[in-house]
């Protein structure tokens, strides 16, 4: 099996916090990207959970070059080509299959696969991935699981996603095996639909302040 051509962690993100976003209309994407940048976050994961996601990725890639826009919830090999063509600079998945791995290779797409167990993390490492998405982090054991994996799998960096919030952000980021975290609290649907970009900028500023105060 081919080794991956890159990983999401190799991209030059300023932020260690990745907003996980479900947009319901493409016109939300660009002002959201600007709101996050204003708050100090230069990376965003627009998921494919809604049909507007792909169009939102296209809009941000075209209009907000300072933003690293990634595609989330990539679960099928055919989607890897679609998100690459839309302009995504990296892709994330809740899991890892041989087909997804090969599609990432074929597209030259930096890819962060999802894992939930040590065995899955070891398999991802065997395929060349050194940064993986721990998902769903809360159901996998949360902070306790992150700490438990740090001993035997210290060379695998994690991006816990699912259950990460402003309340526990500092605890996760302080762990030596946590490269970054993903979370939906930064751009909740209620604020997106209300077009409350100032509120999203405030949430981004708060998250960045916490991230900058933590030394993993």
Catalytic position from the list 3, 58, 63, 133: 133
**CA-based Rg of the chain, rounded to a whole angstrom?**
16
Set 3, 45, 63, 85: catalytic member:
45
- 108 burial via Cβ count (<10 Å: 0-12, 13-18, 19+): exposed
Could you write out the DSSP letters of every residue in 150-214? HTTTTT-EE--BSS--TTTHHHHHTSTTB--EEESTTS-HHHHHHT-HHHHHHHHHHHHHHHHH-
Taking residue 206's Cβ as centre, other Cβ atoms within 10 Å add up to: 15
Cβ burial of 2 (10 Å; 0-12, 13-18, 19+) is exposed
For the chain, the residue count is 216
Alpha-carbon distance of 78 to 198, in angstroms, equals 36
Distance CA 168, CA 125 (A): 27
In the residue annotation, 85 being an active-site residue is answered as: no
Establish whether 147 is a catalytic residue.
no
Residues forming the active site: 45, 133
């Amino acid at each position: 099996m081919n080794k991956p051509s890159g990983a999401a962690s190799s991209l030059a993100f300023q932020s260690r916090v990745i907003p996980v976003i479900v947009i319901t209309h493409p016109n939300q994407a660009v002002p959201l990207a600007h709101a996050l940048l204003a708050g100090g976050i230069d990376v965003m994961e627009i998921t494919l959970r809604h049909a507007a996601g792909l169009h939102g990725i296209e809009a941000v890639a075209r209009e907000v070059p300072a933003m690293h826009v990634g595609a989330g919830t990539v679960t099928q090999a055919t989607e890897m080509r679609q998100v690459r063509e839309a302009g995504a600079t990296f892709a994330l998945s809740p899991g890892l299959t041989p087909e997804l791995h090969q599609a990432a290779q074929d597209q030259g797409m930096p890819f962060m696969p999802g894992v939930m167990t040590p065995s899955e993390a070891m398999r991802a490492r065997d395929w060349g991935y050194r940064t993986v998405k721990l998902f769903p982090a809360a159901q996998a054991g949360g902070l306790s699981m992150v700490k438990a994996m740090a001993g035997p799998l210290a060379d695998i960096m994690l991006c816990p996603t699912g259950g990460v919030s402003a309340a526990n952000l500092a605890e996760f980021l302080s762990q030596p095996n946590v490269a970054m975290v993903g979370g939906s609290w930064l751009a909740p649907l209620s604020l997106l639909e209300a077009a409350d970009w100032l509120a999203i900028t405030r949430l981004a500023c708060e998250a960045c302040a916490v991230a900058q105060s933590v030394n993993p």
